[in-house]
Structure 1
């Protein structure tokens, strides 16, 4: 019996949840997750829906759920017994989260490390403590780890993981529509929570310079993402812009609305100072939308030749210069659109899922 551990899946939309919804449907294995009654359940693939679980009704389990500690609030042997299984029947366990089932150290396990951002650009002391002192236990329990980029793989090695236990499997995307043929507006789009590593304060300083140097630019910069520790500073900086009405904050939107924004925008911006992959860039390229992104290692790993790059920390001069260049040079816009779309075509979810499945299957023979 193969098992997919989804106990760390939180209610609501998140990047981790999107990852589950992309890759898990095509991977063989019983799904272990919380049900609406707050009890762990095992679901076969035919009866599983790729929808985020609800919050547990009980306060204790909901607290564990919030802090990704659900496995410590249940007796896993009892869960198996209720479904007529025994731990000896487990061949291998896969987790799309950076979590091993610690109660099953003798079962081969594959876990996914999306990033180690909390160690370098943490938004809370809790996150830093978890990654510094708790995640090593999960890593030591896992037989093998998936890193979603070479950059994350190198971080895992510095984290103390032997490189022979790491497999790099980049994220993939599904091409669903023809690429947009040309800019529909001069609006700019950002998909980012208001977290430290998203570097939005530096981005707004660049927008301030863009507004002063390009007074004829009348587009809208839309920042789509949940509030966070940087929200109050961002709101204050927005009011100090020459034209604050050109910056809009959107807390959340539906997937259909997001696709419409991609295809109605002029370019996607990512100013992040730290990322494990940065999936919105790939989503934008799947629609043919040009991207202007920060000059960080993981961005260079995937997007050299198909994006424009600007420094993470400067006065905004290069960012403003690149936006203005893109506004006047239609051939550059088209070149970035085409090369970005080609990259998205080469990074398919089908290939990603196949590589994960192959790794999962290889654990059975361990």
Structure 2
């Protein structure tokens, strides 16, 4: 029997989507009492080093963003405003854990970036968030809106030392094309826990890129849901964990509308004692989501002894009437044959190693589409490799 994808029927089905009870995506709430203090034994926290969160999951005081320096370089046509607390939740997002809920209440209003209807903005909007100390915790709330038929790129760059909890809402309206790049380029002592939630409307395209090189503990959580058929999402990420660093990325794509697409591709490299990379991917295909296509992939390259990479892809499928669904996860060391091939042609072992790692990340870096950012990331990879050779 053919599926009726008329606008009224899709809207009704979206409204009637059942809440899926799962440890992978607990029910959200702004009520702090609805979120128990995590112990680290819960499935969603079992990889996170709770002792290194400085009590953010308990009762450590959290202030607003006044302790941070926030600069916005926006081209003409992009609107940047500071809105009140009633702007929070514009994407339908509700905090899914205690730290996100604490950030929700501690943040004073929401910094809102709006790309107006049909505006095509060629130059990226750069938002720089900088800190100077981890002595106190800060919270902020960001809302990024791409209105119908607009096109833009937003870059969030995090630098310096800070203890930051935040919620970021991303809204891609009908037929919008939005790219959001999040660069975690923190100092070595930073603690950053962030949740990015995206709402993708009919025929909209969202490309989200998460880059994590800096910080002591970074826990990045991303979630996506659709507001109508035809939406497309590409979630890309690269991370490079050095000795002692904990870099964690948790992704959830909720295919709650038919004829939607998602592609998740994350790559990580690890070097040094106790370097720890965590990637958790989950895709939920609901009963209504006929004709969707999804794939998720995570690949890790271990450069030295003493590292640990945890990679867990998940698929939850409630209908078989789909175009395709799959996932892949690999963790391994250098390919000895590749290194031998390069060295047999007169390339030194150090240079061969550099070329292999650079090639490992190259396909994702090239997809960012911002030459300056791409060049900076290539240089960042080079700098990381120099650390291992020092």
Larger Rg: 1
Decide: shared fold, TM above 0.5.
Answer: no
For normalisation by structure 1, the TM-score amounts to 0.27
More helix by share: 1
TM-score under structure 2 length normalisation: 0.26
| Larger RCO, structures 1/2 (Cα 8 Å, 6+ apart) | 1
